[in-house]
Each structure stands twice: as C-alpha cells, then as structure tokens.
Amino acid sequence: MDIKFIKATESDIPLIRNLAEAIWWRHYPDMISDDQIAYMLEKMYSEASIGEQMQSGQHYTLIYSGNDAVGYYAVSEKEPHHFFLNKFYVDTTKHRKGIGSAAFKNILKDCKGYEEIALQVNRRNVKAVNFYFKHGFTIAYAKDFDFGGGYTMDDFWMVLKK
C-alpha cells in the first residue's frame, strides 16, 4: 500500500474540512449525539477555525493512500520537546490496513526529539484508546472537559514519554 504524508497548507483547508465531516459522521454517532457532532465540527472544522489553528501553531499533515486523501493529523509543540497531538483521524473504511501505524511513525518524525507527546481521546473510543496503548501511550487521567454549547468531552488524557 502506497501511503504518503503531505504537509497541509491553507489551500488544503477545504479538504481537511471534508475529511473531518466524513470521518466524524461515520465514527462518532455511537459515542456522542448528532447535535454534539454538528456543534464540534462547526467549532473545530469551519474553514476559519482550521485557518486559525494553523496560524496558532497546529501543523496539519494529510494522509494519502495512493492518490486518495484518507486522513489527517495535527501536532503542536507546547514547549520544547513536549508535543500535543491535537487531531489524528483516518477514514474508518481504511482502518486495520496499517495506515494509522504508518501515520503514527510519521508523527514521531514530526515530533523529533520529543520527551512527551500528549493527546485527548474520548473514553468511549475503545478502538482509538487501544491503538494508542499499542503505540506506547498510557492514561495519565480521565476528565470531562467543557467544550462549550452545553457539551463536554469525556476524555482520557494520554501520554507517550521517551
């Protein structure tokens, strides 16, 4: 399988938004309400919001399988050698084909010299939690994070330490 990683630019914002819409509507309905999905997508994935994220230091990378964009991730360095994996999504129809593991290896390259990589993941997202366990993450704590609009993110805060 030909997997490529391409650094996203502002011209890729519509593609990122479209990928997010497709992936979230396939993946999250068993975990959160449709209203919360719509709210979170608009808040995090409007074209303006993605642009602001890029300007504030989130580095997006598009994941391609062959010629098809199948996912994306965004990483930011919070302090020297301490990174946050803001987003990591692969089209659910492409799961269990090695794309996520290949992307994670690329994330480690992007986080060169890391001492710690942290992320938040929905506690009911068992597939993702197990993926992160497989790649060496541990759960630091569980917390309900206020997302606004009356919604919370019931997440694990997970970390990978060097």
The domain 3-161 belongs to what CATH superfamily?
Gcn5-related N-acetyltransferase (GNAT) (3.40.630.30)
For residues 1-12, give the mean pLDDT. Answer: 94
Report percent pLDDT > 90 for the chain.
Answer: 91
Average pLDDT, the chain: 95
pLDDT for position 96 = 85
Report percent pLDDT > 70 for the chain.
Answer: 99
Query: Would the pLDDT of 40 be above 90?
Result: yes
Question: pTM for the complete prediction?
Answer: 0.94
pLDDT for position 1 = 67
Q: Tokens 């989130």 appear where? A: 58
Model pLDDT for residues 59-94, shown as the tens digit of each residue? 999 999 999 999 999 999 999 999 999 999 999 888
Q: Check: CB of residue 131 under 8 Å from CB of residue 153.
A: no
pLDDT band at residue 162 under the 50/70/90 scheme: confident
For residues 12-26, give the mean pLDDT. Answer: 97
Collapsing DSSP to helix, strand or coil, 124 comes out as: coil
Distance separating the N- and C-terminal Cα atoms of the chain: 29
Model pLDDT for residues 112-152, shown as the tens digit of each residue? 999 999 999 999 999 999 999 999 999 999 999 899 999 98
- Closest C-alpha among 57, 53, 63, 67 to residue 19: 63
pLDDT for position 93 = 87
Quote the CA–CA distance of 28 and 127 in Å, as a whole number: 12
- Closest C-alpha among 98, 159, 155, 79 to residue 123: 155
Quote the CA–CA distance of 20 and 42 in Å, as a whole number: 10
